[in-house]
Amino acid sequence: MVLDSYLAPAGEHALRLDDNRAAELADWVVVPDSPRRDGIPPAAYPAEPAHTEPDFPGRDFAAGKGWGQAAAAAEQSPGLVCLLATSANEPADWVAAGQALQRVLLRATTCGVAAALHSQPLELPQLRDFIRVQLAARAHPQLIIRLGVTSQAAPASIRRPIGDVLL
């Protein structure tokens, strides 16, 4: 069994059924033409979640409202699928995983490679443990990363002024 065959879609489906998660996601999404200075703007996600073959479903930021960008292609390649894992699962390991992710994303950017981050199956204890035992040689999975080349330019994200986030 490979990571993409069932686990990513199962994780996304289960998370979409969680009303609390849906409400939290909705709080982060910026309504079109909103003056908000933070959150996820409509230019940063597709109007409908993208699907790849094999399927790595995206999060449904538009929640069926049609906000966001028009879909680029009906079916896309998932690119190279990577699993970021650590030998333990303590706060120091989370920091190390974040540092490794930083290096991967910076290198990918300098090479013109796009990254898509997927945590859906890792947010569910049963799926995370399955991935740990069956696919990660008992290492602790932290993030699923897809790397590939795309023709779409990434939109600029909303940033708060530095004075709003630092004391």
The model carries a pTM of 0.75
Residue 161 resides in a domain: no
| Residue 145 host element (H or E) | strand 140-148
The Cα-based distances of 26 to 20, 29, 60, 64, 127 in angstroms read 10, 5, 10, 11, 24
What is the per-residue pLDDT for 41?
A: 84
Residue 49 lies in a domain: yes
Residue at 166 is within a domain: no
- Number of domain units in the chain: 1
Let me know if residue 132 belongs to a domain: yes
Residue 142 lies in a domain: yes
- The answer to whether position 46 is within a domain reads yes
pLDDT on residue 4: 55
pLDDT value at residue 14: 87
Residue 167: inside a domain, yes or no?
no
**Residue ranges of the chain with pLDDT lower than 50?**
1, 74-75
52 assigned to some structural domain: yes
pLDDT in the model for residue 2: 60
Residues spanned by the domain of 114: 3-151
CATH of the domain at 115: 3.40.109.10
